Amino acid sequence: MTSSHTLTASESGAVFLSTSDILKRADSGKVQQATATAKRLDRNELIIRFQNAFEERKRLATHVLATGLVWQGVPPFAWHYPTLTAKADLTVEERYDLFNYDLLWLRRHHRQHAKNISYQRYKALLTEVSDSKVFAAVDYAFYSGKRPAWQIVKSMRLTDEQQRQCFWIRSHPVRTQLLAITVNQKRVFNVLQEAISKVRRTKTFTPEDALITLDRRRNLWVCKQLTDDGTATEIARKYCELTGVVIDRTIAHRQLKIIEDILRKEKATF
């Protein structure tokens, strides 16, 4: 790592800019203004803009949008939905950026977890307030892509739930779990879609209502898989994280029962 925080990708030797370098080269006033705007954007609009910016590798824009999402309380796993796991063929630069976004989330929403971290350099990822020291800690932990995510998870002693809220900082077991959910949700969606297609449309249950119900049931099934205890209260909380929509635990419980009955009837096991 050079003095300007330019990083070298371990596999290819290609050089890419660190987050600190990107921000140093930008107009700080415009970055602050853009960040303030991002914090006020509609959640869904913010996610769409983030996805587009990440795909187009507009790294400054993506960082600003990620900051807005974190400020709004949207965890990184929801930014890429229905995809729940990072691709295996990401470039080192992409992994570095996703690592930074996960840390933005952890610093704002799990700062108290630092007391569980033994290593001072990893503790600094959550507690350090100086931007320069934060970026130095980030670059140390990432180690130009040589340090795998599972090793960072171990050093930070992240819980399974904290890992599921992230998108890149995950152990192999958690990543495997999320990959299975990503794959199975497509099959679940097809079963639920077939079942709801048989329900007669009326003035009180329109085609639009059917689409909304189908989407809600798919999301509830996903959220059930993403919780440890599987209670309606916890699933409803996860549903809000995923969609931004508050759902009553009673409604969640009733819909989950319908989902279970449909899957059981179709002998669909996931």
CA–CA dist 190, 46 (Å, integer): 28
pLDDT confidence of residue 131:
87
Give the model's confidence band at 15: pLDDT under 50 very low, under 70 low, under 90 confident, else very high. confident
Point out the domain boundary residue: 165, 198, 215: 165
> What number is the average pLDDT over the span 110-137?
94
85 and 209 in a common domain: no
126 and 38 in a common domain: yes
Q: Give pTM, 2 decimals.
A: 0.91
238 and 182 in a common domain: yes
197 and 139 in a common domain: no
pLDDT confidence of residue 1:
39
CA–CA dist 147, 102 (Å, integer): 16
pLDDT confidence of residue 205:
92
CA–CA dist 216, 210 (Å, integer): 10
Q: Domain of 260?
A: 172-265
> What number is the average pLDDT over the span 264-269?
80
- Domain membership flag for residue 127: yes
Query: Whose structure tokens read 């992409």?
Result: 94
pLDDT confidence of residue 5:
55
210 and 229 in a common domain: yes
129 and 208 in a common domain: no
Structural domain count of the chain: 2
pLDDT confidence of residue 7:
60
Neighbours of 207 (CB within 10 A): 8
210 and 153 in a common domain: no
Mean pLDDT of the chain: 92
pLDDT confidence of residue 270:
66
pLDDT digits (tens, 9 = 90+) for 50-98: 999 999 999 999 999 999 999 999 999 999 999 999 998 999 999 999 9
154 and 209 in a common domain: no
pLDDT digits (tens, 9 = 90+) for 97-106: 999 999 999 9
- Domain membership flag for residue 1: no
pLDDT digits (tens, 9 = 90+) for 165-220: 999 999 999 999 999 999 999 999 999 999 999 999 999 999 999 999 999 999 99
- Domain membership flag for residue 192: yes
184 and 147 in a common domain: no
Point out the domain boundary residue: 102, 131, 165: 165
222 and 121 in a common domain: no
Tell me the angle at which helices 207-225 and 249-265 cross, rounded to the nearest 10 degrees.
Answer: 90
84 and 65 in a common domain: yes
> What number is the average pLDDT over the span 4-33?
78
Q: How far is CA 163 from CA 99, 110, 227, in A?
A: 12, 11, 12
- Domain membership flag for residue 270: no
Give CA angle at 216 (197, 260), nearest 5°. 70
154 and 214 in a common domain: no
pLDDT confidence of residue 2:
40
pLDDT confidence of residue 3:
40
